[in-house]
Amino acid sequence: MNTVNDLLRRFEELNDIGAALSSEKDIDCLLEKILVAAKEITHADGGTLYSMCEDGARLQFEIVRNDSLNISMGGTSGKSIPFAALPLVTEDGLPNNSMIAAYCAIHQATINLADAYEAKGFDFSGTRTFDKSTGYRSKSFLAVPMKNHENEIIGVLQLINAIEPDTGLIVSFSPAAQRLVESLASQAAIALSNRQLILQQEALFESFISMINFALDDKSAYTGGHCQRVPTLTMMLAEAVEETAEGPFASFKMTDQDRYELKIAGLLHDCGKITTPVHVVDKATKLQTIFDRIELIDTRFEVLKRDAEIAMLKARLAVRASPEPDAESELETKFSRQIAQIDSDREFLRRANIGSESMREEDRQAVRDIGARYRWVGAQGAAADFLTADEIENLVVRSGTLTRAERDIINNHIVVTIKMLESLPWVKHLKRVPEYAGGHHERMDGKGYPRGLTRDQMPVQTRIMGIADIFEALTANDRPYKPGKTLSESLAILKKFSLNGHIDPDLFEIFVRSKVYLKYAQAFLGPEQMDAVDESTIIGPTLKPLG
């Protein structure tokens, strides 16, 4: 009756183990659970779990346990396993049938030995040497192959020294114990294969994302760096928010799946830029398209100077017979002033061509005045406006280098991003990737784009990504149109944004108080950007200064 009860108990344990294995996501923990479970249901003193190497020619040690010798290696033990992988083929090219684990894998057969010292056909010399050095007695062995859904060997589960619970004596592994371990090995192989397949799919998916970002990087080095840095900063701030014990985000928590979902959203937040024209993304100056059109204007200025010189020389010839002694001198003086004005105007337009934070209205008008001041004769011999309407529109851009139409093109990348991401068949734990990635240009006051969402309509993750996106853009030192701002400058701008409804002020407080900005800066900013920051001036009036 006790035997029946023990068998029923073991079957119940096996069911519980199967459920536990199917829910475990960490491979190392999963492998450890498999071995520990096998030891428990068979009362084995020790055991080893091997996994098949990628080359299919060796078994590598994954987990080693022995209760009597207090050995715990691999898995969660933190101790590495110093043993070399077991070859399945000898140096002569023959199957390695002398080692029990190798034989089990090669022939896909269970090996159950009552006493290793009396077993024939296997080489236990290494085991005898180990026993001699430790005083241990390796006796009963049970090796079970682990096969996946394609009937391929993915590992071997090997147990040693079954112990009779009542007497403590080492006994052989019973047929019932063998069947239980074979059943466990089958369940374990399925759980392990499923987890490996999931990890492989995740790796493939992330590689696909990396490929997209590589395409963006190859298209624009500036966008590529941005696509890598924003998710990093997003996760830094998300972790800081989760660690907050008080305030409006005290209850904010993330599971591992939540973290992965946010990470993927960060990596894909600008994937729509793959459709944005390069000449807009990388527009370093106001007149840049395929090339910087300021060179064309330089040429026109040279034509003006040439024509002015020709006109001056013709006038000198005309006045040489004049009785006025200073006529030629006056012409030369007038010509010099004209050339000086041309050079001054050319230098002004060259400066105006460089994007700035804010162009003064008088400078914008000066561009228009220069356009109206001159006419020039082109290659066809026809007089034309010195500056075209398009050139004037670009040169009077108030901030940055983009015209309104070009900003609309840039802004459209988020619409494309949303369309791209919403078209994908996301699994359940990644369903909100389009929402997180597609909202990082929204504002708390509803004045953002593309949907004009307000703070209450946005999840915390989206608001976090919004701050990360702006701070990265402010501090980025690889943009074609501006140098990266210092820490103090960037935080001062973010402070204004937190007060005017652009970003979430509570998240900004955590960003400052938790020194997320500094951690990020130490990893990505140049030394010239790392200036001193007075956090007490950055934190707003509704926020408590750092103590």
Q: Is 105:153 a contact under the CB 8 Å cutoff?
A: yes
CA dihedral sign of residues 26, 29, 31, 34: negative
Residues 9-24 as b/e (b if ≥16 CB within 10 A, e otherwise) read: ebeeebeebbeebeeb
In DSSP terms, 292 is beta-bridged to 288
Q: How many residues does the chain have?
A: 547
Q: What pLDDT is attached to residue 13?
A: 62
Six token digits for residue 316: 């000198």
Which residues fall within 8 angstroms of residue 182, CB to CB, at 6 or more apart?
Answer: 110, 144
Question: Given this model, what pLDDT does residue 546 score?
Answer: 34
pLDDT at 540: 55
Q: How far apart are CA 359 and CA 208, in angstroms?
A: 42
- Return phi, psi of residue 71, to 5°: -100, 130
> Strand runs (DSSP E) across 309-414, as ranges?
375-377, 383-385
**Residue 373, H or E segment:** helix 361-373
In 3D space, the residue among 162, 176, 170 whose CA is nearest the CA of residue 4 turns out to be 176
Query: Which residue in 443, 421, 418 sits closest to 430, CA to CA?
Result: 421
What per-residue confidence (pLDDT) applies to 3? 60
Specify whether the CB–CB gap between 213 and 228 falls below 8 A: yes
SS3 298: helix
Residue type, 436: Y
| CATH architecture, domain defined by 2-198 | 2-Layer Sandwich (3.30)
209 and 268 in contact (C-beta within 8 Å)? yes
List, run by run, the mean pLDDT of 10-residue segments along the chain (547 residues): 56 59 67 86 93 92 94 91 93 91 95 92 88 93 91 92 92 92 83 79 87 77 75 96 93 94 93 85 86 92 93 87 78 93 96 88 95 86 90 93 90 91 92 95 94 95 96 84 86 94 95 95 93 85 42
pLDDT of residue 396: 95
Q: State phi, psi for 473 to the nearest 5 degrees.
A: -65, -40
Region label for 446, one of left (φ > 0), alpha (ψ between -120 and 50) or beta (otherwise): left
Question: Under a CB-based contact definition with an 8 Å cutoff, are residues 417 and 212 in contact?
Answer: no
The answer to whether the beta carbons of residues 273 and 225 sit under 8 Å apart is: no
Per-domain boundaries in the chain: 2-198, 220-281+405-538, 294-401
C-alpha closest to that of 57 among 34, 30, 28, 84? 84
The CATH classification number of 220-281+405-538 equals 1.10.3210.10
Max CA distance (Å), the chain:
141
Tokens linked to 381: 């011999």
Closest to 374 in 3D by CA, of 392, 360, 359: 392
SS (H, E, C) 271-310: HHHHHCCHHHHCCCECCECCCECHHHHHHHHHHHHHHHHH
